[in-house]
Amino acid sequence: MTAAIGRRSVLAASLLVPVAHIPPAFAVDALPDARFVGFAQAVNDFDLASGQMALQRSANENIRGYATRIIADANYDASALQKSRSEAGVSWAPDGSMGPRTQNLLGQLNTLQGPAFDTAFAQGQLAVQTDCEAQYGAYSQNGKSGPLKRFAQVALPKAQGRLELVRRLAGGR
């Protein structure tokens, strides 16, 4: 009986290890309007650049399929963000954390090829999409600007979809 329990415990633990590195979701405060625009722009820029790199550097069909999706989403979101920002009369302000973080990730990705690229791409996307989903969720609930809040409300389901896909991608390539 104890051997069976021991094997079950080991089996259960081995199934949890691949997702143990994913940080839990915590409540996030909505950024001020201009910083939200900077945050969203940094995410879009990262998705476009990393997606293009993935199409050039990866032979993995799952990575390439995900890259195609994030490029399409980022192109749509960039246009919608520009329109919402204009309607709101909000200027762009760089987000102090996401912009430098995504630039660092792009620099790392630029040095990699093949399976090493695939792993770093999936992990980088997981980190960025986790933060994106949290911030879009927070802003869609508590943002101050009506047009930007509507942008976040429309973009949030796509962000949630990307996060779900990249969780599977990072855990099961």
Residues 69-114: pLDDT tens digits?
Answer: 999 999 999 999 999 999 999 987 888 888 999 999 999 999 999 9
Once rounded to an integer, what is the mean pLDDT over residues 148-159? 97
Once rounded to an integer, what is the mean pLDDT over residues 8-21? 39
Provide the CATH number for the domain formed by 25-172 in this structure. 1.20.1260.10
Does the structure show a pLDDT above 80 at 134?
yes
Mean pLDDT for all residues in the chain: 86
* String of DSSP letters for the chain: -HHHHHHHHHHHHHHHHHHHTSPPP---PPPPHHHHHHHHHHHHHHHHHHHHHHHHH---HHHHHHHHHHHHHHHHHHHHHHHHHHHHTPPP---TTHHHHHHHHHHHHTT--HHHHHHHHHHHHHHHHHHHHHHHHHHHHH-S-HHHHHHHHHHHHHHHHHHHHHHHHHHH-
Every domain of the chain and the residues it spans: 25-172
The pTM assigned to this predicted structure is 0.81
